[in-house]
Every structure is written in C-alpha cells, then in structure tokens.
Amino acid sequence: MKTKLKRKMGVKKMLSDDFLSQEELDSLLNGLNEESENKDNLDLEKIIDMMSEVGNIAMGSGATTLSTLLRKKVKIESPQASIVKFKDIRTNFEGQQLVITIDYKKGLKGINSFVLPGNMANIISNLMMGGEGKVEENSELDEISKSAVGEAMNQMMGSASTAMSDFLRTSVDISPPNIHVLDFSDESTSFPPMETSEDEDIISIKFNMEINGLAKTIFWQFIPLSFAKTVEELMKKAMSEGDNRTNKNQQQVQNQSPQPQQSQQRQTQQQPQQIADDYSQNSNIINQGSEVNVNPVNFGEISDSSQPQQNTQNIDMNKLQLLLDVPLEIKVELGRVQMSLKEVLDLHNGSMLQLDKLAGEPLDIYANGKLVARGEVVVIEESFGVRITEIVSLKERLRSLK
C-alpha cells in the first residue's frame, strides 16, 4: 500500500515538473512580444525610408514643373520622414496654411495631404499671374489667387504622379487636387479627412522648399500607413520584374553567344571550296571569249550660274501659271543660339541671348523652310522690312537640300 502511494506521489511530481510556472509563461510571452515589436519597428523604419525616397523623386519632378510655370528655379529637397498620430498633425502649424488633398484613383488608392504656408502660396499665385513674387506678409488669398495656386499645384502633382508611375512601373492617376485655406490659429479648425481615425499612425515627410531669390519654407506631405504599404508592395513587384527581366536577358545572351562562333567556323570550312568553285566558274566565262560592252559614266555638272538652265520646250505654260498661285511661307532668320535645358529654365524677363550672327551680317530668308536669299533689315514707315542683297545660287540651294 505504501509502495502504491509513493508511486502516485512520484507521478504527480513528474507531471508538475513538466509544466511551466506562471512566471515562466509570462516571461516567455513577453519575449515573443518584444521580438514581434522589434520586427514591426524594423519593418516600419524600412517603410519610412522607402516613402522618403519615393517622395524625394516625386517632388523633384514636381519642382521642375513648378520652375517652368513660375519662371523661377524651385527646389524641393532634403526629405525628413517620421511617424505621427493623425490627431497631432495640426500641432505643427500656426496661422493660415494652404492644404492640398490628392485623391489617387488609379494604380494607388488613398488620399495624401500637402501643407504649404500661406505666404509661400501667395508668392506662387503672384508669379503665376505674371508678378514678381513680391507680396505683403500674412496677406490673405483671394479666389483668383487661390485658383492660380491651385492650377500650379495641379500641374506639379500631375508631374509627381508621372514620376511615381515610372518609378513603380505602373499607371498612377490622380483626381484634380482639392485646395483648402485653413487658419490653424482657430482651435475649431480640423485637418481635412484622410480616411483614417484620430489615433491612426501617419507618415509625415518634411521638405525644404525654396523659390530662387524670393523665399524659403517647409513643405509637408502626410501619407496614410496603408497607402505606404501599397507603395512598398508595388515597388517590390517592380524590382522583382526587373530582376527577372535582367536574368532572362543574361540567359539569352549566354545562349546566343556561341552561335556566331559556330557559324563562323562553318563559314571558314566552306569558304575555300566555295572560292575555288567561284573562281572555276569565272574562269570558264572568261575563257569562252564573250564580248562585254563597257560604257563610261557621265556625270552632269552643276552650273555655278545663279540663273538655272531650263528646258522650256516641254512645259505646259497653263499648268505653270497654276503653280504660281501656290502660297509660300517666307521667314527671315535673325540668328540662332544653342542652349541647355537648364539655361532655358533659368530664362526670365530681361535675359539676354547672344546669337550666332554678327552685327551687319546679312539675314537668311527662307521660303517654306528652304534658304532662297539674304538681305538686310530696313524700316518701312512703322514696320520692319528686309532689302534683298543676294539671291542664293542653284548650286547652294541644291547643297542645302536634305
């Protein structure tokens, strides 16, 4: 009886030793949670870095378009990305701000928001309407100015979405941007909706923006985390397709590279016999004594005379009269200059261009794009005119034909 009791107590002790205590279970679960949190943090950091790079590419393209519209060099660079709560976004701003919301409708789904200080928005609208970009501090945007800056943002964001299409290798399309002028000094002002809750994490990207010689400011972009994850998936897919395409091209090159050598070897082996056969056939033809007539080649000469030689015997004068009514576009070219794209974008009112013509040189006169004469500028009453000083010779006209 005692032996049976000892056996039962031993079994219970063994079973109790096999189970973990509550402290051990808590420690194990905490370790798993820490590993999961560390993994999530690493993934989140990768997404933030990726969106910072994507934003840099998109805004770089948008800045180029904006430079063209404003006729001033615009820089949007040095992105700094972080995670913020949606409800905390408004704490970054004071006073009047221009808020632009972009709804992605193709390729990507979701809403991105951009925030531009009111003073910079006024400068952009002033430049869009032909001004010099000089505005009063804290001046309010009227409807005309709001419409002008809205058009600038539309062009800029369209260019940015095109850059994203190229980067992600998928078609990206956006709806026309919605423009809001918000006063963040008013506590009742709420940030435009982004299809997310107040406690949702949002990626915030801060760019340094500068309009050359006028102003510097901070340009903000806010991206929902779900939108960023979609961008990450598309980027991985694009990179995978690019790697597959590279591997496929390498395999094709490897498979095709031996073939020219084999073909060359076969050609080398066949060449002596083929040359011998051809020589034998040609020798037989020559030995047959057949007569071959050889005529000298005669080339017509181009006359240096400015008056073309014409054969009028076979010309129907009635048809020629019809040709005389054909309208021709006459252009007078003062000169030309070659410029880089950067130099063209830097042009502004008052810029000077140095042409390839010297003062006093005759101007070129073109008829339907063909050089026909040269002349000098004269003034006829209140209009400019050209006095023809030289008719281009037939020889020179023929040389100019393409």
Of 216 and 311, the structure prediction assigns the larger pLDDT to 216
What would the pLDDT profile of 278-313 be if each residue is shown by its tens digit? 544 444 444 444 454 545 545 444 444 444 444 545
For residues 392 and 374, give the distance between their C-alpha atoms in angstroms, rounded to a whole number: 7
CA 196, distance to chain mean position in Å, is 31
CATH (domain of 151): 3.40.1550.10
Whether 315 is in a domain gets the answer: no
Which of 216, 245, 274 finishes a domain? 245
Please state, in angstroms and rounded to a whole number, the distance separating the CA atoms of residues 175 and 153: 12
Q: Cα 10 from chain centroid?
A: 78
Q: Is the pLDDT of residue 355 over 50?
A: yes
How many angstroms separate the CA atoms of 180 and 199, rounded?
23
Query: Among residues of the chain, what percentage have pLDDT more than 90?
Result: 14
Nearest of 41, 36, 43 to residue 236 by alpha carbon: 43
Q: Which of 226, 245, 264 is the last residue of a domain?
A: 245
Given a contact cutoff of 8 angstroms between Cβ atoms, the answer to whether 47 and 234 are in contact is: no
| Element (DSSP H or E) covering residue 251 | helix 225-256
| Residue range(s) defining the domain that contains residue 132 | 27-245
Query: One-letter amino acid identity for 299?
Result: F
Give the mean pLDDT of the chain.
76
Number of domains in the chain: 2
Q: Can you give the pLDDT at residue 336? A: 87
CATH number reported for the structural domain that contains residue 388 in this entry = 2.30.330.10
Which helix (H) or strand (E) covers residue 106, if one does? strand 96-106
Q: What is the pLDDT of residue 344?
A: 87
126 and 213 in a single domain? The answer is yes
CA distance 48 to 363: 60
* 64-90 mean pLDDT: 90
- The band of 399, judged by pLDDT with boundaries at 50, 70 and 90, is low
Q: For residue 255, give the amino acid letter.
A: N
Q: Is residue 14 part of a domain?
A: no
- Report how far residue 383's alpha carbon sits from residue 377's, in angstroms, rounded to the nearest whole number: 10
pLDDT tens-digit series, residues 105-162: 888 988 999 999 999 999 998 898 888 888 888 788 888 888 888 888 888 888 888 8
For residue 78, give both structure tokens.
């040095």
CA distances from 1 to 4, 6, 12, 15, 128 (A): 5, 9, 17, 22, 103
* Two structure tokens written together for 90: 């408004």
Co-location of 234 and 329 in the same domain? no
More confident of the two residues 321 and 277? 321
Last residue of a domain, one of 213, 245, 277: 245
In a domain, 94, yes or no: yes
